[in-house]
Structure 1
């Protein structure tokens, strides 16, 4: 059972890798044509949904894996807080994605939504990098 859970945990982690490139995508999206912007934001919205499903897999499998090993309490707290932050930021990013899609389709300004997307995508990237660091170096704390 441990091997299956570890495999599913790693697959869930791979789905979160999408958040590592998200700041780069939103840095370049303003330079695209409106049709390309719409396609890019629509794809990001879909991928965000899949990454959130991967995050749920992370939560379930990670909870099981924590019961099978000996981890320090501070490490568990840090990891759970980072997991919740990733979940919060990925949920928050949904509304600016919808707003940006609507503003692209109606040819109105999308600057405010684009700014939020850049901010939250950067925060997501940092949180995913931090949780990856703590997963790899769980013995440090």
Structure 2
């Protein structure tokens, strides 16, 4: 059972890997078709949020089957909550940016700078999570 849960956990991790690329994908400079692109990023973010829930559940099961330090478990759970909150805030900004871009506003007016900031914060948080998973203390 643990090997199947580990398999699901790894699939979720691979699926969430796009958060590491997300800030670089948002550096696209062209204005044409940006509303559709932002809409696609919003859909990808929704999938990432579902995968984060899968990560939380499968990770919780695996933590219960092994012995990790309490400090490590607290840090990891807090990091999952932080990533979840940031992805929620990113989703709201992506939705409002898509609506603004669809109505003809420029990318700067649509709040793409905030979207870029949230995407960098999520990427850094996810990178810290990968490091903590690789080197538990």
- TM-score when scaled to structure 1? 0.92
Note the C-alpha offset of 1:103.
1.3
Tell me which residue corresponds to 1:121.
119
What do you get for the CA RMSD once the two structures are aligned?
Answer: 1.1
Determine if the alignment matches structure 1 residue 9 to structure 2 residue 9.
yes
Alignment of 1:61-140 (within 5 A): 61-111=58-108, 113-138=111-136
Note the C-alpha offset of 1:109.
3.5
Determine if the alignment matches structure 1 residue 38 to structure 2 residue 57.
no
Tell whether the 8 Å contact from 1:34 to 1:104 is kept in structure 2 after alignment. no
Cα separation, 1, equivalents of 2:104 and 2:35: 11
Could you list the structure 1 runs, at least 4 aligned residues long, displaced by more than 4 angstroms after superposition.
none
Could you tell me which runs of 5 or more consecutive residues in structure 1 were left unpaired when the two chains were aligned: none
Tell me which residue corresponds to 1:23.
23
Could you tell me which runs of 5 or more consecutive residues in structure 2 were left unpaired when the two chains were aligned: none
Note the C-alpha offset of 1:39.
2.3
- TM-score when scaled to structure 2? 0.94
Cα separation, 2, equivalents of 1:110 and 1:84: 29
Note the C-alpha offset of 1:110.
3.6
My pick for the range that moved more, 49-58 or 106-115, is: 106-115
> SS of 1:27's equivalent?
coil
> SS of 2:116's equivalent?
helix
State how many pairs are aligned: 136
Note the C-alpha offset of 1:14.
1.1
Cα separation, 1, equivalents of 2:93 and 2:102: 14
Bigger proportion of residues as helix? 1
